Chain A
Amino acid sequence: MEKSSRKIWEHPWGYVEGFIVASGVLLAGLMLQLTLGNIDKAAFGFPVNIIIGALFMVGLLSLHFFLRRKKVVRWLSGVSSTIPAISLLLAVIVIMGFTPQFSDHVSREQLPPTPLRGLGWYQMTTSWPFVLLCFYMLTILGLTTLRRTTKKKGWRDIGFYLNHVGLFLALLGGMLGSGDMKRYTMSVKEGSVEWRGTDQLGQVHELPIAIQLDTFMIEEYPPKLVIIDNQTGRILPADRPEAYMFEGVGKTTTLAGNQIEILDFMADAAIVRDSNIVNFVHMPMEGATSAIKVRVTHPSIGQPVEGWVSNGSYIYPYEVLYIDSTKSVAMPVQEVRKYTSKVTVYTKSGHVRKAEIEVNRPLSIENKVVYQYSYDETRGKYSQVSIFEIVTDPWLAVVYVGIFMLLAGALFMFIAGPRQEATPERCL
């Protein structure tokens, strides 16, 4: 990469030394990984993360203020160390992209018993090589940023600081904060109050927040019709499945070559079975199902076929209409458009708040955020249970400052572009 008469390890260091040092960091990580196993995030929660963060910052600042004239420190704040550090981190992330990843809550014994387990690759983000490389990159990032403060100032510095300080804060905040992030799911029945949450290990905790579920509502998309293969149950045509979303009575459509005419529709149908006759009657009640009456014509069948099709509910089984021995008309389960929980939230400190919580519209209260997480899927739109996720992340503010600085930095970069003329190497 660099052709010069300089011998290896002779200053100024270049990319070769950079790759050796970064590989050393990786190797140290591997040794730690093989002896200690993956990092236990919980052990790095408050106050350990504060102490590590403070020591790291003190270390960076001392290197900068007392030793910045040392050649190694200069090298650590320039392109020669940056390129190898990014390359190796990138390599680790690519390995992570090719290896199935498991949650940190999966214990070592439950992971696939391959050599990759020992290397920590199945839980890369808590493995020593990954974390050490991240800290190595943070060190270079921090020192490079500090070093820039000693240089001649220019308008381009705005972009530099936004991008580099922003990334530094987002990365450091994200890494140190991960030990303090708490996530609990809470399942609440309509009309009742709940304050116990389940953590990711399945342990139940009493939380300083209580949720009363006043009402829970699900809106669905209109039902769809499909033609299925009676043998396999797969939607036809097999190479590109077709579906028709109900738009109103009287419409016609073609599905997999079959002419379908919509004769009738009930949003609340009860299915009444009388020996071998099946009747569909309108009945607005819990557990009622959607039903569509169709007439199917196809050149291969003599008489048109007519009848009701339904996707069922927790009370009724679904109902298909046989066209012939090979295929039928069926109605898949309707997709959910929106689900909303109307809640009253009580906190230990005495706050009471009424709110509507939806996916993408969480509720922030004190230092917690309450998310719409799920519902009783076996009962579908008749679910009386809403499941929430309650998240606390005390380091979020640090990460967000970083993210917004980076966003502004990206905007700067978009407008300003690269330096126009080739400039002397400023960070050797």
Chain B
Amino acid sequence: MSWDSFIYFAIAAIILWSAGALTAFKGEKKTIPSLLTALGLAVFFVFILGLWVSLERPPLRTMGETRLWYSLFLPLAGLLTYRRWGYRWILSFTTLLSVVFIIVNITKPDIHNKVLMPALQSPWFAPHVIIYMFSYAILGAVTLIAIYYLVRESKISNKGRLMAMTDNLVYVGTALITMGMLMGAIWAKAAWGHYWSWDPKETWAAATWLGYLLYIHYRLRRKASNKTSMYILIIAFLMLQICWVGVNYLPSAQGRSVHTYTME
């Protein structure tokens, strides 16, 4: 399956996810929205698998390929949250953010080829990147919730419940970025000789991690302010974005990161 067919799979998935998001607003039952979203996920995943087969390597090397997984995991995180917490708006949020990343991938397609550098040929490659992408999707959903909270604070009736959901998602997301980071450290030891070199990507990964630790520890206090908590989440997600995308543009990281695998 080549990149050219992406647009068809993407459109099919977006239609299914949007239908899931819309039906979530109608009716009490979660079955139909869940089924539609799951079907969209299946369509999108088939494309990723096809690309994997045709490239003869995991499609996780370039930024565009990581965006692909992100677009998949966002509605998945939305679906799991919807099933567990029942907030009707969550599916439309995650679908919307996923569509943004799909549009980036359609308008700025990467160059996809079979080349996988020796440093990436490791059993850690797929778990390291997939776990990170899944955690980014969950933390992306958390950021949407934080924005939702800050915009509509006065209108939210049960703040305690919303905060409990946020705490849950942050714990899951942070647990996953911790695993992604430590797998990266073990892999770095095998590939580059040291488990942590303060490469720009590693520096921002540490900053992101500390940002979410800040939230978790701040929330231990019963008196913690909801607003401050939500601001911490937004700042942490900004650092996450610098870690994921920004290091490719930061002057301080130009030509210095060993984590750059996009090529011409």
A residues lining the B interface (CB < 8 Å) = 1-2, 79, 82-83, 86-87, 89-90, 93-94, 96-101, 124-125, 174, 181, 183, 221, 224, 235, 240-243, 245, 335-339, 358-362, 369, 371, 389, 391, 393, 396, 399, 403, 406-407, 409-411, 413-414, 417-418, 420, 422-427
Contact = CB atoms under 8 A, between A and B. Distances in A.
A337 B206 contact: no
A96 B203 contact: yes
Interface string B187-218: 10111111110101001101100110110111
Interface of B: 109, 111, 113-119, 121-122, 164, 167-168, 170-172, 174-176, 178-179, 182-183, 185-187, 189-196, 198, 200, 203-204, 206-207, 210-211, 213-214, 216-223, 225, 228, 239, 242, 250-253, 256, 264
A45 B164 CA distance: 47
A211 B186 CA distance: 25
A414 B119 contact: no
Contacts of A426: 220
A165 to B, nearest CB: 15
A360 B256 contact: no
B195 A94 contact: no
Contacts of A83: 214, 217-218
A16 B22 CA distance: 47
A241 B264 contact: yes
Contacts of A339: 118
B249 to A, nearest CB: 12
A369 B203 CA distance: 25
B214 A125 contact: no
A407 B194 contact: no
Contacts of A425: 220-222
B193 A183 contact: yes
B126 to A, nearest CB: 13
Contacts of A359: 118-119, 121, 191
A235 to B, nearest CB: 6
B222 A101 contact: no
A399 B195 contact: yes
A414 B176 contact: yes
B251 to A, nearest CB: 7
Contact of A97 (B182, B191, B200): B200
Given A87-B214, A240-B111, A407-B182, A427 B121 contact: no
Given A97-B204, A420-B164, A425-B222, A410 B179 contact: yes
Nearest to A224: B113
Given A100-B253, A360-B119, 14 more contacts: A79-B217, A83-B218, A87-B214, A90-B214, A99-B252, A240-B109, A335-B117, A336-B118, A337-B116, A360-B187, A391-B193, A410-B176, A418-B219, A425-B221
A417 B118 contact: no
A407 B175 CA distance: 9
A354 B118 CA distance: 22
Given A79-B220, A360-B119, A407-B179, A369 B193 contact: yes
20 contacts: A83-B214, A83-B218, A90-B210, A93-B206, A94-B239, A97-B204, A101-B200, A101-B252, A124-B198, A221-B114, A243-B113, A245-B113, A339-B118, A360-B121, A409-B178, A411-B175, A414-B175, A418-B164, A422-B222, A426-B220
Contact of B190 (A124, A360, A410, A413): A360
Contact of B194 (A181, A235, A411, A423): A181
A233 B174 CA distance: 46
- Chain A CB count within 10 A is highest, among B178, B213, B223, B239, for B178
Contact of B118 (A1, A358, A420): A358
A41 to B, nearest CB: 13
Given A90-B207, A93-B203, A96-B198, A411 B179 contact: yes
B213 A360 contact: no
Contacts of A423: 222
B215 to A, nearest CB: 10
A100 B198 CA distance: 11
B141 to A, nearest CB: 15
A86 B121 contact: no
A314 B221 CA distance: 67
